[in-house]
Structure 1
Amino acid sequence: MARHINMGYNAFDTADHYGSAEILYGQFKESLPSQAQVVGATKWCVFRQTELSRSVVENAVRERMTRMRTTTVDLLQFHWQDYSDKGYLTALQILQDLQNEGLISAVGLCNFDAIRTDEICTQLGPGFIVSNQVQFSLIDTRPLHGMADVCERHDVKLLTYGTLCGGFLADQWMNQPEPDLYSGVLTPSQRKYLDMILKAWGSWALFQSLLAVLRDIGDRHGGLSIANIATRWVLDHSFVGAVIIGARLGVSEHTEDNDRVFGFKLTDEDNRAIDAVQARSNGRRMITLIGDCGAEYR
């Protein structure tokens, strides 16, 4: 984590249900000099029906503060599993009170769809919800169909994950045979995204065509990686605030390669080449196959 800080990556995303991640972040933050600028984002996820009260919500926030060893949660991202229970509005109203009292610096959403994001921002007023963490990539373009308009209307930024599809949008998979989903070689993340590539987006052959196009674009920009191009494509959308690149600390980090994404923009020619491949996929119909952002978890 210190290496990331030294390279300018000073924001870490964690969650209440990511094992000991909040605790590790808190220990790391305490080890830093007081002047170090670091941002800790976490989540409060409500997966089952809960009796909501001021004390329940405040206890959840204070637990995040204790585990992260901070007096204020930098960014608390809220997830609510059951849309049929409108308790999410009550919970967010209480979070708004806690923000006004200084326990939270900023409040975001996590895996909310466009309809509910619009509802929340409309009811709770401008400026309260700053972000929504959802999946967005060259493969999963669902945020373009509804969510983008909501973000622009309410000045909400997406914090996107899955941008590299668990590492499949990378040079190492170019010209490789289709992997066996059940071989035991793939990580859980890769199994998830391979399933999406094959069953929702298109085929492995079409995916290879996409990698070839991204490789050509990378060459035109001085030898950038496929991952650089895939990340830049997401960042080039005005409603995206940041891309969350998954890293297995000490195992698979790619900090130097990721740093190259900030020095260029995709050209019209680049985007036309990408669009030509996407037009052959089911990408634009994925929202009807899977549902809107976050539907895969419901």
Structure 2
Amino acid sequence: MSQYVEQGYTAFADHYGSSEIIFGQFRRSRQNTQRIVGATKWCVFRPTNPTRVVVEAAVQERLDRMQTDCIDLLQFHWQDYNDKGYLTALRHLQDLQQEGRITTLGLCNFDAIRTDEICCQLGPGSIVSNQVQFSLIDTRPLHGMADVCQRHNVRLLTYGTLCGGFLADQWLGQPEPDAYSGRLTPSQRKYLDMIVKAWGDWTLFQSLLVVLRQIGDRHGGVSIANVATRWVLDYPCVGAVIIGARLGVSEHRGDNSRVFTFQLTQEDNAAIDAVLEQSNGRHLITAIGDCGAEYR
């Protein structure tokens, strides 16, 4: 993590397992005053009565684990839209924010309708972000969510932007993998299913990789992953791309930094669009549902 910070990666986002504890220990161990941002989540999957006591306890647990008095960004997820308790929970989170225990509030995997509802109910500036899946393969945020972001000045924190690593040079020219060969990670199995069953097929995906490689070559040899990331970052509704890294195993720190060394041209975007037009990308929002629907 120190190596990441030394290369300019100063924002970390995770809440699974012991990640909050590790982040808290890491930030406490820093001897300098460099600003390091930690984003975490509170996810409500089961029926819950979000009283002030319940909400405060959830926040305090994160404060304790992260060894801090104030959470930089708390991202909130609520599973059951039929239960409007998410509005009550968010109002309590607002109160805790005003008390200084949370700096900013965000959402995680909320759809456009509920994001708009929440921003209207809680008031201007109440929500700063929504963490959703967004990539060249999954463009659902462009169908409704982007408009909501513009209306309420919300930015997307996107994950799955590299489809678990499939949008990368190592898959160019490769045959379609067996999902259960042992070669793929659980994340890659999920994204492979989306690529070959919902978005298109492996042949069309290879055509996309070829185009991304050609674009990368035009910009000094940047990677396919760089081009795929730049494409997402160029949308005004996107605040940041969350690059999944397995610390000490798969990091790509140097390569990822090259995203900021070039800009996509009209020619580049036209070449990408020509491939995307052959896919079912625009229909994913009806086939799968809006952002986060795949988890509900």
Task: Measure, in 1, the Cα distance between the counterparts of 2:64 and 2:256.
Answer: 32
Task: Measure, in 2, the Cα distance between the counterparts of 1:91 and 1:263.
Answer: 42
Match of 1:28 in 2: 26
1:256 pairs with one of 233, 240, 254: 254
Task: Measure, in 2, the Cα distance between the counterparts of 1:236 and 1:51.
Answer: 40
Task: Measure, in 2, the Cα distance between the counterparts of 1:36 and 1:276.
Answer: 44
Letter of the 1:284 partner, please give it. R
Match of 2:137 in 1: 139
Normalised by the length of structure 2, the TM-score is 0.99
Aligned length: 296
Task: Measure, in 1, the Cα distance between the counterparts of 2:34 and 2:151.
Answer: 34
Match of 1:66 in 2: 64
**Aligned-pair CA distance for 1:34:** 4.8
Letter of the 1:276 partner, please give it. A
**Aligned-pair CA distance for 1:36:** 2.1
Question: Is 1:179 aligned with 2:192?
Answer: no
Q: What percent of counterpart residues are identical?
A: 75
Question: Is 1:85 aligned with 2:86?
Answer: no
Task: Measure, in 1, the Cα distance between the counterparts of 2:176 and 2:40.
Answer: 35
Deviation per CA, 1:64-105, whole angstroms, max 9, x where unpaired? 000000110000000000000000000000000100000000
SS in 2 for 1:33: coil
Task: Measure, in 1, the Cα distance between the counterparts of 2:237 and 2:111.
Answer: 15
Task: Measure, in 2, the Cα distance between the counterparts of 1:48 and 1:34.
Answer: 41
Task: Measure, in 1, the Cα distance between the counterparts of 2:31 and 2:119.
Answer: 37
Deviation per CA, 1:239-297, whole angstroms, max 9, x where unpaired? 10000000000000000000000111100000000000000000000000000000000
Task: Measure, in 2, the Cα distance between the counterparts of 1:52 and 1:108.
Answer: 17
Letter of the 1:2 partner, please give it. S
Match of 1:169 in 2: 167
Task: Measure, in 1, the Cα distance between the counterparts of 2:286 and 2:206.
Answer: 24
Letter of the 1:8 partner, please give it. G
Task: Measure, in 2, the Cα distance between the counterparts of 1:192 and 1:172.
Answer: 18
Deviation per CA, 1:98-140, whole angstroms, max 9, x where unpaired? 0000000000000000000000001100001000000000000
Letter of the 1:147 partner, please give it. M
Report 1:162-241 matches (<5 A). Answer: 162-241=160-239
Q: CA RMSD in A?
A: 0.5
Task: Measure, in 2, the Cα distance between the counterparts of 1:124 and 1:33.
Answer: 38
SS in 2 for 1:175: coil
Task: Measure, in 1, the Cα distance between the counterparts of 2:31 and 2:100.
Answer: 23
Letter of the 2:13 partner, please give it. D
Match of 2:11 in 1: 11
Match of 2:158 in 1: 160
